Amino acid sequence: MHRDLIATAIALLCALPASADKQLLWGDTHVHSSYSTDSFINQNFTAGPDTAYRYAKGLPVLHPTTGARVRIETPLDFLVVSDHAESYGAIKRANEGGLPREGLGPIDWIHAWLVEKAFRILADNPGSIGYLLEFASPDTDDVVEAARTPARIALPNGDLVARDAWKESTEAAEAHNEPGRFTALIGWEWSSIPGGANLHRVVFTSSDARVAQQFIPFSSSTSSYPEDLWRWLDETSSETGADFIAIPHNSNISRGFMFPAEKRLRDTPIDRDWIDERARWETVVEATQIKGDSETDPAVSPDDPFADFETYPHYISPRAIPFDPGQGDFIRSALRTGLAIEQRFGANPYRFGLIGSTDSHTGLATAEEPNFWGKFPTDSLPEDKTRAVGDIEDFGWVISASGLAAVWAEDNSRDAILEAFKRREVYATTGPRIAVRVFAGTGFAPGDESAARIAEIRAASVPMGGELSSLETAPSFFIQAAKDPRSAHLDRIQMVKGWLHEGATFERVVDVVWSGSRVRGADGRIPRVPDTVDPLTAEYSNDHGAAMLSSVWTDPDFDPAQPAFYYVRVLEIPTPRHSTLDALALGIAAEESGQPISIQERAYTSPIHYRPQ
């Protein structure tokens, strides 16, 4: 019976002809190869862009540390190799062939020799990444002050090294790009981190290697300020014809600076130009990845019983900084802040879509709990999971096996995927391929959720990432979710609503539809689904949950005068966390990992916004 339900769900969600609806594509926009400095220092000497694309396509590859044959469980549809722009390819070049000496005078020649020696020492000691970060960073924890002096390592012929590495990376993407089958997107990461505030952005383009090789990736060594990145994107787009998107990630460890409400990083008030530039380039943010979940936190959503999920309370800093989560760090509170900013300025910098990705530094896009190869090669094996990184004990178990980017696109091509990101018809999952559709309009009625007339439904509504305006009646939401056939059943579908009233913002989480015969308690909430994970075997049962959940939900508290946003959160039933699987493999109790034995994997859809006018 379960097999029949799954087949029905997949038929409804994934097997419609392209002429009737868009395709659901799965990918990862955030994978680092051996060209990234921190990846190489952590012993990724061999998994370059070519390995990353081959792994994502489903081919067996060699693990960069163990040499073992590894393979993704289900191939991806697209991938961005997003190596750090800072010292792009330099440590690899220094260790493998030496830095180029062309045109260098005696002092710069000696400088290059010293940098080579230093980079070779660093590559022999994974723990040296902390020393490198301390050396390259200003000696202050004040974020605004630190941003005035970008973290950088001076490299003789650094531009030449970066250009050569960029050429190799873009050519690897070109070699692996197969429109209609697999899309290799060209990108990099801009890694601003003043005072330990993570302000990183992944940037990718729909352009090919010929266009991409007309520029070198913009680096935070040039500027720590996001608006300088946006300005560079604008200028480069005008000069080359390339289009881009910049994707913020790990807002959860941004020290409140990722989503400001009043002042930007330059310590000046946000203004309409800043809002418009951000809204132009940053149409999507990364909601979940290896360094934790950024949807929300109990500190900012105390009434949400599912807010405490995969918390990562560690800033990237050579000095210990107490974790202090706040409104500027999380996606849900940013969406609320955006409503208030729009009321003041007439535009919203935070009307973004949501995706997940991994931030893997192994070259391997692994988000599956049973097939997770860690953040770095140095924490890939169970026996290495207790290795400390800075002040983080048991680093390999603290990190998350997450996430994936789901994209509703016309076809599997560079242009179609970028356009889906631009219109925000994308969503995030923490790893499982939960298929989700959401449409909003005013003509839906109960029972429509079981319809397969997607073309008609789409024509009469807006999809996830869209916008409604000037409604006289409450919006209704057509929602369908189907389980990943290789993962667990679904627990529930929730609607997360935020709204603005008399200058203040509010939020509410509503259980829309759920599995089984559970009924709302006195507090209005649906009880938790049973947790069947056995801590002694890491086995679980799909006797609870559902293969597919669907509903039409109408907002009972809609006020046509109030700006609002709505996004869907889908929860699986509990399944074993990767740390539990590691602990049992090591022959120790699951509790000894210090992490939850089970987690509820989830999907977050891009919000649909409502504007009164």
Distance CA 430, CA 436 (A): 13
Distance CA 292, CA 250 (A): 7
- Residue-by-residue DSSP string for 7-23: HHHHHHHH-S-TTTS-E
> Is the separation of the CB atoms in 205 and 233 below 8 Å?
no
Which three-class secondary structure state does DSSP give residue 161? helix
User: How is residue 432 annotated by DSSP?
Assistant: S
pLDDT of residue 20: 53
Q: How far is CA 33 from the centre of its chain?
A: 17
Count of all residues that appear for the chain in the document: 613
Percent of the chain with pLDDT over 90: 86
Q: What are the sequence ranges of the domains in the chain?
A: 23-424, 436-611
Distance CA 555, CA 551 (A): 13
Q: Return the bridge partners of 353, or none.
A: 284
Determine how β-strand 462-463 pairs with β-strand 467-469: unpaired
Provide the pLDDT confidence category of residue 13 given band limits of 50, 70 and 90. Answer: very low
Distance CA 219, CA 594 (A): 37
Spatial neighbors of 73 by CB under 8 A, at least 6 apart, are 368, 370, 371, 486
422, two tokens: 């631009």
Provide the pLDDT confidence category of residue 595 given band limits of 50, 70 and 90. Answer: very high
Across the chain, what does the average pLDDT equal?
93
Per-residue pLDDT of 523-566, as tens digits, reads 889 999 999 999 999 999 999 999 999 999 999 999 999 999 99
Per-residue pLDDT of 434-486, as tens digits, reads 999 999 999 888 877 776 677 788 888 999 999 999 999 999 999 999 999 99
Neighbours of 257 (CB within 10 A): 22
Per-residue pLDDT of 123-151, as tens digits, reads 888 877 777 777 777 889 999 999 998 87
φ, ψ for residue 551 (rounded to 5)? -170, 160
pTM for this predicted structure:
0.95
